Amino acid sequence: LVQDRSKYIKLRARGLYRDDVQAAVRQSHHNPGLQAMYKSFAGQPLSQLAEQLFHTGYIDRTGL
């Protein structure tokens, strides 16, 4: 007997899609708190401050 392994995964996924559908704002670019943060702090995406705080690089670990 093979149990349906995906059932709990599907239920959790549905929960998040429900959260999306009932949200007052559906798109990231319309998030008012985020717009306020850019306006008063980071400026705009990919600004110098944004690059410094919110971007990163990766490491070739095969040499480490």
Partner 1 sequence: MSGFQATELTNIIEIDRNKCKGCDSCKAFCPTGAINGKYGAIHSIDQEHCIFCGQCLINCPFGSISDTVDTVDVVIEKLRNKTITVVAVTAPSVRVAIGEEFGLEPGTLTTEKLYGALKQAGFKVLDANFAADHTILEEGSELVAKIRHYLLQEPAQHQLGPLPQFTSCCPGWVLFAELNCPQILPHLSSAKSPIQMAGALAKTYGARQIWQVQPEMMYVVSIAPCTAKKFEASRPEFVSAARYWRQQGHSAVYPDVDTVLTTRDLARLLKKLNIDFNRVEPFADADNPLAQYSGAGTIFGNTGGVMEAALRTAYYVISGEELPVLEYTPVRGLEGLKEAAVAIRDAGTGQTIRLKVAVVHGTKDHVRPVVEQVIAGRSPYHFIEVMNCPGGCINGGGQPINPMGTSWLGKFKALLPWH
Cα–Cα dist 10/51, whole Å: 36
Nearest distance in Å: CB 51, partner 1: 8
**Cβ-contact 39, 33 below 8 angstroms:** no
Per CB under 8 A, which of residues 13..42 are in contact with partner 1?
Answer: 13-23, 25-34, 36-38, 40-42
Nearest distance in Å: CB 13, partner 1: 5
The site for partner 1, by CB under 8 A, has a size of 56
**Cβ-contact 20, 26 below 8 angstroms:** yes
At residue 48's C-alpha, the angle toward residues 45 and 26, to 5°, is 15
Instruction: Note the residues at the interface with partner 1 (CB under 8 A).
Output: 1-23, 25-34, 36-38, 40-42, 44-46, 50-62, 64
